[in-house]
């Protein structure tokens, strides 16, 4: 983990409620693994006092720059739109946490994301594409403009099923995956951004005997396991066995779904 003052390449509106900031941070981007995150401090402002965590959305081909896709939620993200100016700098810590794992012999995976959670997926999609793994995307958001990353799936020629709340569908986006998993074999499932989708994906993974991972979101402070401010209950060795509390920033943010779905210590 490094603290860097990364030059801002650009910071602009992306789509819907999202902004996209790109910074030059070769030390962080160079070693970043899919699903890891960075912790941002707003310089020149006492509020918010704590850093704010963000998944890395994309890493440039030369692994010198990284992008964050962020949704305006409160004061910190609002200030990011105004303080992270082109030719300015961004105070960030990273890479942080444990990311996604791709099975050694994987040929086909499915990724499921909702809302902000979608922003954690592109580094995984890019890593899978490099290894020749076929990716099927199942993305859901409140409104169509908030479906980020569609261009990244398109760039790799990967199919995506989308759902929006405004379309008023009764089905979950994972129902489309359940249908497809009856016809095609998948080697791993991944989910972020919704507990409801996580439960549905976990049930499907168990039914199909497929490993499934989830990127958890939790309010954070330090981002590297020191303050114990981001603990969640987890299953330690099996869903029915011993429980414990674990720091999401240090043990996660990516967990096996059986570790966290229905875990209570």
How many Å apart are CA 242 and CA 220, to the nearest integer?
Answer: 25
- Does position 222 interact with ligand FES (CB under 6 A)? The reply is yes
- Does position 102 interact with ligand FES (CB under 6 A)? The reply is no
Question: Binding ligand FES by CB under 6 A: which of 7, 176, 225, 239?
Answer: 225
* Residues in contact with ligand FAD, shown as a per-residue x/- string from 112 to 151 under the rule CB under 6 A: ----x--x--------------------------------
Two structure tokens written together for 37: 């995150």
CB-CB contact of 28 with 2 (8 Å)? yes
Which of 77/194 has CB closer to ligand FAD?
Answer: 77
Which range of residues in 71-79, 139-147, 164-172, 197-205 is near ligand FAD by CB under 6 A? 71-79
- Does position 228 interact with ligand FES (CB under 6 A)? The reply is yes
- Does position 71 interact with ligand FAD (CB under 6 A)? The reply is yes
Q: Cβ neighbours of residue 39 under 8 Å, at least 6 residues apart?
A: 51, 52, 53, 54, 92, 93, 94, 96, 220, 222, 223, 224
**C-alpha dist (Å) from residue 19 to 24, 62, 140, 155, 257:** 17, 23, 18, 20, 29
Which of 50/180 has CB closer to ligand FES?
Answer: 50
How many Å apart are CA 32 and CA 65, to the nearest integer?
Answer: 11
CB-CB contact of 201 with 177 (8 Å)? yes
- Does position 220 interact with ligand FES (CB under 6 A)? The reply is yes
Half-sphere CA count of 4, side-chain side, radius 13 A:
18
Residue 179 interacts with, from ligand FES, ligand FAD, none (CB under 5-8 Å by kind): none
Backbone angles phi, psi at 250, to 5 degrees: -100, -50
SS3 readout for 98-124:
ECCCCCCCCCEEEEEEEHHHHHHCHHH
Which of 173/249 has CB closer to ligand FES?
Answer: 249
Residue labelled with tokens 């011993």: 242
In 10 A of CB 177, how many CB atoms? 26
- Does position 247 interact with ligand FES (CB under 6 A)? The reply is yes
CB 70 to ligand FAD: min, Å? 4
Which range of residues in 51-59, 128-136, 198-206, 233-241 is near ligand FAD by CB under 6 A? 51-59
CB 250 to ligand FES: min, Å? 6
- Does position 234 interact with ligand FES (CB under 6 A)? The reply is no
Which of 10/245 has CB closer to ligand FES?
Answer: 245
Interface with ligand FES (CB under 6 A) = 220-223, 225-230, 247, 249
């Amino acid at each position: 983990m490094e603290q860097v003052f990364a030059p801002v390449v650009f910071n602009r509106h992306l789509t819907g409620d999202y902004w996209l900031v790109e910074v030059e941070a070769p030390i962080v981007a160079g070693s970043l693994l899919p699903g890891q995150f960075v912790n941002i401090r707003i310089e020149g402002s006492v509020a918010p006092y704590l850093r704010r965590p963000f998944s890395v959305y994309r890493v440039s081909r030369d692994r010198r720059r990284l992008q964050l896709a962020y949704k305006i939620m409160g004061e910190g993200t609002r200030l990011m739109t105004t303080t992270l100016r082109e030719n300015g700098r961004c105070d960030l810590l990273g890479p942080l946490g444990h990311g996604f794992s791709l099975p050694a012999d994987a040929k086909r995976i499915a990724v499921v994301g909702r809302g902000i959670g979608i922003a954690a997926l592109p580094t995984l999609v890019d890593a899978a594409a490099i290894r020749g793994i076929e990716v099927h995307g199942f993305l859901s958001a409140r409104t169509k403009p908030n479906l980020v990353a569609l261009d990244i799936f398109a760039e790799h020629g990967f199919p995506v099923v989308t759902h929006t709340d405004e379309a008023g569908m009764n089905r979950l986006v994972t129902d489309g995956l359940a249908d497809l998993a009856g016809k095609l074999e998948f080697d791993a499932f991944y989910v972020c951004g919704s507990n409801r989708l996580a439960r549905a994906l976990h049930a499907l993974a168990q039914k199909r005997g497929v490993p499934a991972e989830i990127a958890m979101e939790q309010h954070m402070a330090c981002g590297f396991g020191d303050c114990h401010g981001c603990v969640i209950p987890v299953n330690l060795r099996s869903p029915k066995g011993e429980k414990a509390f674990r720091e999401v920033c240090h043990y996660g943010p990516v967990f096996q779904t059986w570790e966290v779905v229905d875990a209570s210590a």
